[in-house]
Structure 1
Amino acid sequence: MNLAKISANGQITVPVEIRRQLGLKSGDKILFLQNQNGEIVVSNASAAAIRKAQAAFTGAAEAIGVSNEDDIQTLVDKARYGKEG
């Protein structure tokens, strides 16, 4: 169990073990979420944002026919030069 004391300004120091488990470093932001049981869960906000973006883009490459680096280069060339290759 890890405890943290709240200062008069509402600040807390996240225990080192928790910082390590969440992959937090100085300047990172933490996210407080309430789960379905009403419990508050703490998460690394950056990691949560990345997971949300990954979920949003799942299947996007397949949907536009991208399956390898050559397909990506073709898209880049088309965007840059208005043509393929």
Structure 2
Amino acid sequence: MSNMNISLPDALKSFVDYQVSQRGYTTSSEYVRELIRKDQDQQHLRALLLAGAESASTTPVDGDYFESLRARVHKARG
């Protein structure tokens, strides 16, 4: 694992320390790693949503569509 030093203003350092103590993190590094992972997840979701928005239109997703999915799942399970 690599190390990274981050400079924070006192107010942000206090905020991080409070989050660590109140939310059950063992270190400030653990808290920051979780924030970075969440940001990665959000960026990935955004990319998926944008790709979906740019893709070609398909048939509408409605109640019939979900019923056909349920039927396929039940059929596959036997």
Q: TM-score, normalised by structure 2?
A: 0.41
Q: Between Structure 1 and Structure 2, whose CA radius of gyration is higher?
A: 2
Higher helix share: 2
